[in-house]
Amino acid sequence: MNLSRPLWAPTRLLCFIRTATYSSAAVTTPATASNSSFPLKNVTKSNFEAVLSELRSHVRAADFVAIDLEMTGITSAPWRESFEFDRFDVRYLKVKDSAEKFAVVQFGVCPFRWDSAKNSFVAHPHNFFVFPRHEILVDGPSSEFLCQTTSIEFLAKYQFDFNACIHEGISYLSRAHEDAARKRLNFAHGDETSDASSNVTNIRDQKRIGIADVLFKERMKNRLHEWRDRLLSERNMECQGQEGSNDYQRQFETIFFKMRPALTLSDFTSHQTKLIQLVIKKHFEDLCFVVVDDGDANLQQLVVYVDSRDDKELLMQEVNSDRQEAAEMKIQSAIGFRHVIDLLSSEKKLIIGHNCFLDIAHIHKKFIGSLPSTAEEFVSSIGKHFPFIMDTKILLNGNGILQQRMKKSSTSLSSAFALLCPHIAFSSQSNPAFSSGVQVEVQVDDLSSSNWNSGDKHEAGYDAFMTGCVFAQACNLMGIDFVLPSENLADNEKLQKHINHLYLSWASGDIIDLSTGNRMTEPLRSNRSKKHQAKISFENIVLIWGFPANLNARKIKECISKVFGLANIVSVYHIDESAVFVQFAKPEMVSEFLDLKKNLERHDDPISVLHPLTELFGAKGTNAAGYEAYKEICSSPMFKVLFADQAEAVGINQKTTSIKPESVKSQMHEAANNSLTADMLNETTEVQGMEVGANDLRNTNYHILRSSSM
């Protein structure tokens, strides 16, 4: 996923969209892109089945498969951004929140196969439009997701086809939803099978039956007797349809069902149908009531003639078998795009992505099941489905040869593609300088091409193609020989130290090893990262939120420094306009600070009123807690734009650690000795994070749009 992390503009809109099952006129999408000369297979629900069959053969023959995702957003609130003060487990929780709240609208899949005869790779780029539409009834509410304005504008800038996505996007079921849907359908079919007996019992248990019901039952008994007698006397089947009133002809029609004569029941109320079932059960051993699907998603009620009890049991077995088969067909159809994910998982191919941890988290949430609460559990789960994943950004930053080739340039996908694969990126330009490097031929349907203009960046199919090309060229520069027969790239010794390593946070250099769940630091940035991490001691951090609006990071540091001394306040970092981190020099200062707050709130004596921290804690809404409270707040699925509102919604007010009373008293009386003037603080204070002015973040507006249907 190569969508740049969006900036928090003064006006930022989050759309909250709820999808439901609906039908619409088909939107025609061409199989290959018409707005670009790059050959690309666009896939919607209209051509999905045919493409899936072809894709299976391409994936099975592939040496590796590159993927890319486009989403409706990245972060649901400013405080959900990745921060310098985010611990490893908190970083995972923020990725988890993003994958849970936003939707995948486009999925790029590009299998690459080495062709020794052509001495080049053959790529098959596919661009799947997906949309979380419920094709069958599943437990729980309809699908809901957020849209981030900057992300939607970003997609629109690169001509994303929203109509194709919404109207023709391929729906899907996760494995968890599939299990739930199958149980629901089986339960419904069980209800239908036992419907006659249960309904008859209910009616029979009624002590009083109205005269209208008695007359109706008698009339139905006579008509069923007449119909059965005609069958037994082998009279002409057409004659009986011509007799009687128009109402009779409309309500009763003789057909053949499972090679048996049957009577259709139409225009009866549910209560009347139950009465008919009672009549059949009581008076006709050779008639059977069944409910079947007529093929147009409508239920048809039939009274079927059977020769014997064994024939009746055989009929019910056939009906139940048909129901199971129809249910399975519905489920397989509703699984939709997950068939592609199952294909990639079952083939155990090397999956290539670029800065793709969020992509993998989306794949787990959308197509496997709910995301685990910890990174360790996530690693265990995803490894069962995708044992080999390569992040090209890890590769570019972790290999000295590639670093030298990149010349300290950006390792974004577009930059890497232009620098490492100019012969592919600019294949239409006949420049001799672009002739070196691994060659790639693109095949779509029966057409092959090795000469094209640049494709549409940030279209998932083309980005997946670029990702695969970068990987192929990187392998070539590292001296990996593609000509070796039957060599699995996932087992290549030169790639082993990079496989299953993904950036949990590119900014911090945090890497998660999908094989072990351990945290790592990328080798070429280890010295800088260790120096960076040495500044942050999470046990030394206190979280403050809900403070007065006139306070910002600089003023908060000034206030606390008057009590603890400037040297003991390492940094103050804004989470958003309503919350800050304060890092102390020693961990015990966290508990001392929290107990000071608690003591000031209990007392209203002159010392407390004049205490420097009164400016910070004077407002009743100000709360403070240790770092674990921050993790707890981030783990909540609730959605609040301001951190202070989120903390309140989660139910966290304040957490303190008790210390000796004399320590609190000593701190309060030493405040005057440790106070520094505002001028001194302004000269020496280093405030990290966002420098928030009086109106900076408070000008940000947020709106939620909710739609019950599309």
Q: Is 268 exposed, middle or buried (0-12, 13-18, 19+ CB in 10 A)?
A: middle
With a cut of 50, list the residues of the chain below it in pLDDT: 3-12, 21-36, 195-199, 205, 235-244, 526-533, 655-710
Cα–Cα distance, 592 to 612 (Å, whole number):
15
Same domain, yes or no, for 218 and 125? no
Query: Where among 258, 290, 323 does a domain terminate?
Result: 323
CB-based contacts of 153, cutoff 8 Å, min separation 6: none
Buried-state track 460-469, b at ≥16 Cβ within 10 A, e below 16: bbbbbbbbbb
Same domain, yes or no, for 374 and 452? yes
Contact by Cβ (8 Å): 596, 562? no
Whether residue 480 lies inside any domain: the answer is: yes
User: E strand or H helix at 114, and its extent?
Assistant: strand 104-115
Tokens for 81?
């951004």
Residue given tokens 């849209």 in the structure block: 147
Same domain, yes or no, for 493 and 593? no
293: domain CATH number is: 3.30.1370
> What interhelical angle do 643-650 and 627-635 show, nearest 10?
80
357: domain CATH number is: 3.30.420.10
Which phi and psi (to 5°) does residue 674 adopt?
Answer: -90, -5
Whether residue 305 lies inside any domain: the answer is: yes
Whether residue 181 lies inside any domain: the answer is: no
Same domain, yes or no, for 50 and 153? yes
Tokens for 74?
């990245």
Instruction: Write the DSSP assignment of 597-643 as a string of letters.
Output: HHHHHH--SHHHHHSTTHHHH-STT-EEEEHHHHHHHHH-----SSH
Same domain, yes or no, for 479 and 615? no
Cα–Cα distance, 49 to 172 (Å, whole number):
13
Same domain, yes or no, for 548 and 514? no
Total domains present in the chain: 3
Whether residue 105 lies inside any domain: the answer is: yes
Query: Where among 272, 299, 323 does a domain terminate?
Result: 323
pLDDT of residue 526: 44
pLDDT of residue 87: 93
Give per-residue pLDDT as tens, 378-432: 999 999 999 999 999 999 998 888 988 888 778 899 999 999 998 888 765 555 5
Cα–Cα distance, 237 to 171 (Å, whole number):
46
Buried-state track 506-524, b at ≥16 Cβ within 10 A, e below 16: bebbbbbebeeeeeebbee
Whether residue 204 lies inside any domain: the answer is: no
How many DSSP H helices and E strands does the chain contain?
29, 23
Nearest alpha carbon to residue 306 among 295, 293, 318: 318
> What interhelical angle do 338-347 and 48-61 show, nearest 10?
10
Tokens for 408?
């300290």
Same domain, yes or no, for 417 and 364? yes
Same domain, yes or no, for 573 and 635? yes
Can you give the residue range of the structural domain that contains 617? 538-650
Nearest alpha carbon to residue 576 among 634, 509, 638, 529: 634
Same domain, yes or no, for 388 and 310? no
Whether residue 671 lies inside any domain: the answer is: no
CB-based contacts of 430, cutoff 8 Å, min separation 6: none
573: domain CATH number is: 3.30.70.330
Same domain, yes or no, for 488 and 343? yes
Cα–Cα distance, 455 to 278 (Å, whole number):
68
Whether residue 698 lies inside any domain: the answer is: no
Which phi and psi (to 5°) does residue 653 adopt?
Answer: -100, -70
Query: Where among 650, 676, 693 does a domain terminate?
Result: 650
Same domain, yes or no, for 355 and 501? yes
Instruction: Write the DSSP assignment of 124-162 as a string of letters.
Output: --EEEEB----SS--SSSPPEEEEEHHHHHHHHHTT--H
Whether residue 708 lies inside any domain: the answer is: no
Same domain, yes or no, for 63 and 138? yes
